[in-house]
Amino acid sequence: MKTFLGIDVGAVSTDLVLLDENNNVLSDVYLRTLGQPIKMIKEGLSIIKKENQGIFLEVLAVGTTGSGRVLAGAVVGADVIKNEITAHSVAALYINPEVRTIFEIGGQDSKIIVLQNGVVVDFAMNTICAAGTGSFLDHQAYRLGIPIEEFGEYALRSENPVRIAGRCTVFAESDMVHKQQMGYKEEDIIAGLCEAMVRNYLNNVGKGKKIAPPIFFQGGVAANSGIKKSFEKEIGCEIIVPEYYRVMGAIGAALLAKEEMEQNPRSSTFYGFELVDKDYQTTGFECDGCSNHCEVVEIMIDGELIARWGDRCGKWSLGYQPIR
């Protein structure tokens, strides 16, 4: 079976998607990165191989994206390495070519992408404060003793959401504690937190952006029905959560890899599923060639150098493609 592989490595999750020639999803894997991206990439590939046991998978192209896209590209031998904005946009437009706005909220950052006639015309990212991200929700769910998977259900049960200060994680948490001490119901506090997160997102990430429907909501936080409801309440229109909302970045990476191979036919540089049995080492050094003192990262497989990057001048890396 001819396939295309997409890998999205973020700070919180590592996502892998395998598409067939008709862009149907054969396998989708969502794993917690847990500070071990290489381990999770190998685990994800093992899961895909197991799910398709008995089928010979010919991977024609591999694409990587996410904050760890360069590392992932070096580890698997990627044919295409693209940023998250491009990957998420390509995936959304494939599902619905009429999409005008994309809300993407992950574990450590949040993004808004504005499209017009199938082209990205504006975008913004919030990487400074975690008040509008999944990691903050995870922390509050743990503090309240509620599984994060049930957070949205609690919010939907609320009939009287309380107002929570959501401009900062510290203020939001202290305000939640105050509301708990005043005796408010948990569901009202959680609903208030969802509304605070949405206000924070729209006032910061979405500030000055032209938000027009159809609107796609992507990323792990899209699983939270309370956040979706709060967005719809604030904006006044339907928010669409696509079927594969958690792995849209990986889908986009796979589609971009396929497009690259169609435009420039060649053999894939993918190392194959056998890489799960190989030993990877990451090392680095500080270059003293100039005042920049760049940190140069090296990836080795079984003691053999395969990739190097991180320097600004290109003295060591010679671009982002794996060294062969």
User: pLDDT tens-digit profile of 71-98?
Assistant: 999 899 999 999 999 999 999 999 999 9
pLDDT class for 166, splitting at 50, 70, 90?
low
Across the range 176-186, mean pLDDT stands at 83
Residue 17: what pLDDT? 98
- Taking the C-alpha atoms of residue 97 and residue 89, their distance in angstroms, rounded to an integer, is 10
Across the range 11-37, mean pLDDT stands at 93
| Cα-Cα-Cα-Cα dihedral sign, residues 198, 201, 203, 206 | negative
Across the range 117-133, mean pLDDT stands at 79
Residue 169: what pLDDT? 67
Long-range Cβ contact pairs of 282-287 (< 8 A, separation 24 or more)? 282/38, 282/71, 284/310, 287/311, 287/315, 287/316
Residue 323: what pLDDT? 42
User: pLDDT tens-digit profile of 25-48?
Assistant: 999 999 988 889 999 999 999 999
Residue 289: what pLDDT? 85
Per-domain boundaries in the chain: 2-87+249-277, 98-243, 279-324
Question: Which CATH superfamily includes the segment(s) 98-243?
Answer: ATPase, nucleotide binding domain (3.30.420.40)
Tell me the two tokens of residue 132. Answer: 């509008």
Instruction: Return the CATH number of 2-87+249-277, one of 3.30.420.40, 3.40.190.10, 3.60.40.10, 1.10.1060.10.
Output: 3.30.420.40
Q: The pTM is what?
A: 0.87
- Taking the C-alpha atoms of residue 24 and residue 26, their distance in angstroms, rounded to an integer, is 6
**In this model, does residue 106 exceed pLDDT 50?**
yes
- Taking the C-alpha atoms of residue 244 and residue 222, their distance in angstroms, rounded to an integer, is 10
